[in-house]
Amino acid sequence: MIIAEAKSIIEAILFVADRPVSADQLAVLVEMDSDDVEMIIQELQKEYDETKRSFQIAEIANGYQICTRSEYATWIKKFYTTEISSRLSTSALEALAIVAYKQPVTRAEIEEIRGVISDSVIRTLLERNLISVVGRKDAPGRPLLYGTTTEFLIHFGLKDLSELPSIDEIEKMLGTPKELRRLFIREKDNNSTTNS
């Protein structure tokens, strides 16, 4: 296959894909090797940068996806409310934030932080594949441990968990519930006493 044709095919696939597509998947489709696909993706991104396009190719969850640039977020938010926020309750988002920042975490630990029983919210997050069981805690009763999934990364447009915003950044963007703020302050205090 000619490079120009492969480039157009890769761009079309990334454009229509509703989730990240790996270089290996693209390589199979265009019958090239992964290194050539990576080179084509870099060329496309360079073209988008040079022409100041409103979108880019982002590396998310071990794959690639075309998405809008962050500088257009204000206008996009005016136009569109994200599916995850509109479909999850505040309590589900709160529990999801706890799992994301404290994982692996047990149901009891989530409930201790939230101050309420969280069975239904955990069930909702499991059903939507935003969290999964990642093991069992080495404690009496061996409770299940929960962590986030690849689907979580995709929904939030993250390459990996290191891209999660800091608590200060979240507070500036959204205003963090006081309970979560206290949790993270307590977490920092525990870490600083452990490290000293």
The pLDDT tens digits for 23-52 are 999 999 999 999 999 999 999 999 999 999
Answer yes or no: is pLDDT of 193 > 60: no
Q: Give the three-class secondary structure for 136.
A: strand
| 127 lies in the same domain as 155 | yes
What's the half-sphere exposure (Cβ side, CA atoms, 13 Å) at 104?
A: 11
CA–CA separation, 96 and 147 (whole Å): 9
If asked whether residues 69 and 28 sit together in one domain, one would say: yes
Answer yes or no: do 97 and 154 share one domain.
yes
Mean of the pLDDT values across residues 77-92?
Answer: 67
Confidence (pTM) = 0.54
The answer to whether 20 and 60 are in contact (CB under 8 A) is: yes
DSSP state of 166: P
**Half-sphere exposure in the Cβ direction for 113 (13 Å, CA):** 24
Measure the CA–CA gap between 66 and 95, rounded to whole angstroms.
29
**85 part of a folded domain:** no
Q: What is the pLDDT of residues 65-83, one digit of tens each?
A: 999 998 988 887 776 554 5
59 bridge partner residues? 64
User: Is the predicted pLDDT of residue 114 greater than 50, yes or no?
Assistant: yes
pLDDT over 60 (residue 181) = no
Residue 48 lies in a domain: yes
175 and 158 belong to one structural domain: no
48 and 111 co-located in one domain: no
Q: Token pair 């496309």 is at which residue?
A: 44
Q: What is the DSSP string of 117-133?
A: --HHHHHHHHHTTSEEE
Number of Cβ within 10 Å of residue 156's Cβ equals: 18
Q: Per the structure, how many domains does the chain have? A: 3
Any domain includes 80 = no
The CA distance from 158 to 99, in Å, is 15
Report the pLDDT averaged over residues 176-183. Answer: 54
Domain of 14, CATH number, reads 1.10.10.10
Domain boundary among 46, 73, 100: 73
- Give the structural domain span for 55: 3-73
